[in-house]
């Protein structure tokens, strides 16, 4: 019985964790904002009032709804080609959400695997992975992402790969440190005693206790991925088509800020 309790490890109950999260106003507010943008991205074809790429040169620089000269049906106005800004914002959320989820998942997967191996195996494995992390983090992240996308070519796949290749180190360092702490716990020693192999201990015992940290890192990485994608699209290294992204919208708006400040 004692061994079974030890093998269970210090994993917390799901109910208590969810209750603490719901009691935190910041978590609830952040979750509500994230849910809003996620729903807007998923249901963009139903929510957007206009086609995001449809042009109407007769409606160039239409002001937003708070202006006396606002055009009915265009809440946020139009851009230099007469395209509806609100519709482009909504469709741009699709790109932002897709990049955020996939890039964060890819970075998390790579960083978690390497962090678990480095933290549990130690020795030369830990030394090699730790030196690789230190060298990789010495490069400026944004500059390196621009170089990687420029080499691989423009496109969402290149952006996602670049973000994952750059940001896996964040997951790796945190997971490595937590794994080193977890492997000193009694439940790991009990797992070794009953003959559970290294990989079994990593995936069945240690990983579940690292998951709470991974969830926090995943949400942070999603925000970072959105910013990096916006930077890359700002310099025209994201989508090659005229499909709207938030970065290209900012870049286009900068050219006409004097003519249409809104």
Q: Is the pLDDT of residue 14 over 50?
A: no
Global pTM value: 0.81
Average pLDDT over residues 140-148: 87
φ/ψ region of 101 (left if φ > 0, alpha if ψ in -120 to 50, else beta) reads: alpha
Q: Dihedral, CA atoms, 167, 172, 178, 181, nearest 10 degrees?
A: -150
Instruction: Tell me the residue ranges of DSSP E strands in 40-163.
Output: none
The two tokens of residue 192 are 């070794």
Average pLDDT over residues 81-87: 89
Q: Is the pLDDT of residue 19 over 80?
A: no
| Average pLDDT along the chain | 84
Residues in the chain: 262
Q: Is the pLDDT of residue 17 over 70?
A: no
Q: How much of the chain, in percent, has pLDDT values that exceed 90? A: 23
The two tokens of residue 235 are 């310099």
Average pLDDT over residues 39-48: 87
How far is residue 206's CA from residue 147's CA, in Å, rounded to a whole number? 36
pLDDT, tens only, 88-130 = 999 999 889 999 999 999 999 999 999 999 998 888 999 999 9
Which pLDDT score, from 0 to 100, does residue 2 have? 43
Name all domains of the chain by residue range, CATH numbers in brackets. 2-255 (1.10.3720)
Q: Which run of H or E residues covers position 175? A: helix 156-182
Q: Is the pLDDT of residue 241 over 90?
A: no
Q: Is the pLDDT of residue 176 over 90?
A: yes
As separate numbers, helices (DSSP H) first and strands (DSSP E) second, the chain gives 12, 0
DSSP letters for 175-203? HHHHHHHHTTSHHHHHHHHTT--HHHIII
Q: Is the pLDDT of residue 214 over 80?
A: yes
pLDDT band at residue 7, thresholds of 50, 70 and 90?
very low
φ/ψ region of 195 (left if φ > 0, alpha if ψ in -120 to 50, else beta) reads: left
């Amino acid at each position: 019985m004692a061994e079974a309790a030890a093998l269970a490890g210090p994993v917390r109950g799901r109910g208590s964790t969810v209750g603490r999260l719901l009691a935190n106003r910041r978590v609830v507010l952040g979750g509500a904002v994230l849910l809003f943008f996620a729903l807007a991205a998923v249901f963009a074809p139903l929510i957007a009032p206009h086609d995001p790429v449809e042009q109407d040169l007769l409606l160039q620089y239409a002001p937003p709804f708070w202006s006396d000269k606002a055009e009915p049906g265009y809440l946020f106005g139009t851009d230099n080609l007469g395209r509806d800004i609100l519709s482009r914002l909504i469709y741009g959320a699709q790109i932002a959400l897709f990049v955020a989820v996939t890039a964060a998942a890819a970075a998390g997967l790579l960083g978690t695997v390497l962090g678990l191996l480095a933290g549990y195996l130690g020795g030369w494995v830990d030394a090699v992975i730790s030196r690789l992390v230190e060298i990789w983090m010495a490069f400026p992240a944004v500059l390196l992402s621009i170089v990687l996308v420029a080499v691989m070519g423009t496109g969402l796949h290149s952006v996602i790969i670049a973000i994952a290749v750059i940001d896996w180190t964040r997951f790796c360092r945190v997971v490595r440190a937590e794994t080193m702490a977890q492997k000193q716990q009694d439940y790991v020693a009990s797992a070794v005693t009953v003959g559970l192999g290294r990989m079994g201990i990593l995936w069945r015992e240690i990983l579940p206790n690292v998951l709470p940290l991974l969830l926090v890192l995943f949400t942070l990485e999603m925000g970072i991925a959105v910013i990096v994608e916006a930077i890359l699209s700002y310099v025209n290294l994201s989508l090659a088509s005229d499909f709207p992204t938030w970065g290209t919208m900012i870049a286009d708006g900068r050219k006409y800020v004097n003519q249409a400040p809104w």
